[in-house]
């Protein structure tokens, strides 16, 4: 591998350590890791300590063996689910963008953040440049509200506990009670609305994608400039198209309404 000025050696070493864990080697000792990466014991210990503190490794106090922590598992599940849903949703997302003449986006939920996993661009919206991997707060995004609304009640409660409802604009929902009331409306209508809550001059509407078990797998949305599309037109024209497309993707993933976990 060619070294460049962009390489962060400590990060590279940490990733090399994480890559050692596999189905065949789910737990490793300090000495095993040291031998595998070819670094001295004190350096390896510092790497392991850092990864453990960050939640990417766990150390069994009895066996003294290290194994991947919850954060590694979360990264893996997010990556696997987002790859599958992106492959299934892509043609529907393209069809939606062409139908409404606007950029259509696909996302998954990571904690209380929306993670964009695909976008079919039609027109850039008021200078907002988002690509795959971009993250925005879930509480002020139509995509986030569409997914949060259809989580099991206990999971939603856990996600909302301790959330800092930081305002992005004057229209952002900044407290839990108002957000829960908004999410109840999303569940009732089957789609969510963002009316300049994240960026001034931008509206969007989103709908959830459900998997074969009736659990939230992701969400899609369409964004429009407020100068071009009224709130009423967003609901009457764009929301039904987004909801219908989300239903098509859900069906492709094996979702049947009567099997929903949230009913």
- 231 contacts: CB under 8 Å, gap ≥ 6: 193, 195, 203
Which residue, 35, 68, 101, sits at the end of a domain?
A: 68
Structure tokens at 8: 């962060």
Higher pLDDT, 137 or 257: 137
Element (H, E) at 240: helix 239-252
Beta bridge partners of 203: 195, 224
Higher pLDDT, 140 or 86: 140
When pLDDT is averaged across residues 126-152 and rounded to a whole number, the result is 87
Q: Residue 38 is part of a domain; what is its CATH number?
A: 1.10.10.10
Residue with token string 């864990």: 21
Within a domain: 3? no
- Alpha carbon distances (Å) from 94 to 27, 238, 241: 43, 15, 13
Q: Is the pLDDT of residue 34 over 50?
A: yes
Same domain, 43 and 108: no
Beta bridge partners of 249: none
92-96, 164-168, 179-183: least confident range? 164-168
When pLDDT is averaged across residues 231-244 and rounded to a whole number, the result is 98
Within a domain: 2? no
Within a domain: 109? yes
Same domain, 197 and 239: yes
Query: Phi-psi category of 197—alpha, beta or left, where left has phi over 0 and alpha has psi -120 to 50?
Result: alpha
Same domain, 213 and 148: yes
Q: How does residue 97 score in pLDDT terms, banded at 50, 70 and 90?
A: very high
Residue with token string 């070493």: 13
Same domain, 62 and 159: no
Same domain, 60 and 103: no
pLDDT score for 214: 93
49: number of Cβ within 10 Å: 12
Same domain, 32 and 112: no
pLDDT score for 228: 93
Q: How does residue 9 score in pLDDT terms, banded at 50, 70 and 90?
A: confident
117-131, 169-183, 199-213: least confident range? 117-131
Q: Residue 122 is part of a domain; what is its CATH number?
A: 3.30.450.40
When pLDDT is averaged across residues 215-235 and rounded to a whole number, the result is 96
> What is the 8-class DSSP label of residue 79?
H
246: number of Cβ within 10 Å: 27
Q: Is the pLDDT of residue 2 over 70?
A: no
Same domain, 83 and 169: yes
Same domain, 44 and 58: yes
Closest alpha carbon to 122 in 85, 94, 142, 90: 94
Which residue, 45, 68, 91, sits at the end of a domain?
A: 68
Same domain, 95 and 127: yes
Q: If you average pLDDT over every residue of the chain, what do you get?
A: 88
Same domain, 134 and 235: yes
Range of the domain at 27: 9-68
- Number of structural domains, the chain? 2
Same domain, 171 and 82: yes
pLDDT score for 261: 47
Q: Is the pLDDT of residue 218 over 90?
A: yes
Within a domain: 100? yes
């Amino acid at each position: 591998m060619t070294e460049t000025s962009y390489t962060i050696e400590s990060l590279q070493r940490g990733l090399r350590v994480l890559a050692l864990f596999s189905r065949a080697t789910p737990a490793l000792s300090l000495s095993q890791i040291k031998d595998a990466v070819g670094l001295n014991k004190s350096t390896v210990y510092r790497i392991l300590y850092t990864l453990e503190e960050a939640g990417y490794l766990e150390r069994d106090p009895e066996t003294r063996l290290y194994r991947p922590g919850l954060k590694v598992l979360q990264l893996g599940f997010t990556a696997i689910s987002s790859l599958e849903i992106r492959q299934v949703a892509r043609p529907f997302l393209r069809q939606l963008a062409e139908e409404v003449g606007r950029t259509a986006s696909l996302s998954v939920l990571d904690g209380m953040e929306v993670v964009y996993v695909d976008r079919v661009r039609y027109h850039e919206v008021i200078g907002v440049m988002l690509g795959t991997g971009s993250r925005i707060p879930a509480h002020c995004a139509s995509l986030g509200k569409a997914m949060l609304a259809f989580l099991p009640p206990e999971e939603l409660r856990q996600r909302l506990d301790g959330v800092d409802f930081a305002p992005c604009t004057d229209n952002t929902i900044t407290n839990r009670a108002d957000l829960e009331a908004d999410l109840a409306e999303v569940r009732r209508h089957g789609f969510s609305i963002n009316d300049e809550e994240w960026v001034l001059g931008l509206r969007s509407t989103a709908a959830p994608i459900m998997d074969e078990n009736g659990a939230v797998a992701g969400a899609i949305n369409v964004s429009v400039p407020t100068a071009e599309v009224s709130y009423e037109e967003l609901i009457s024209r764009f929301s039904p198209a987004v909801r219908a497309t989300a239903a098509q993707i859900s069906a492709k993933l094996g979702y049947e309404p009567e099997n929903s976990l949230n009913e």
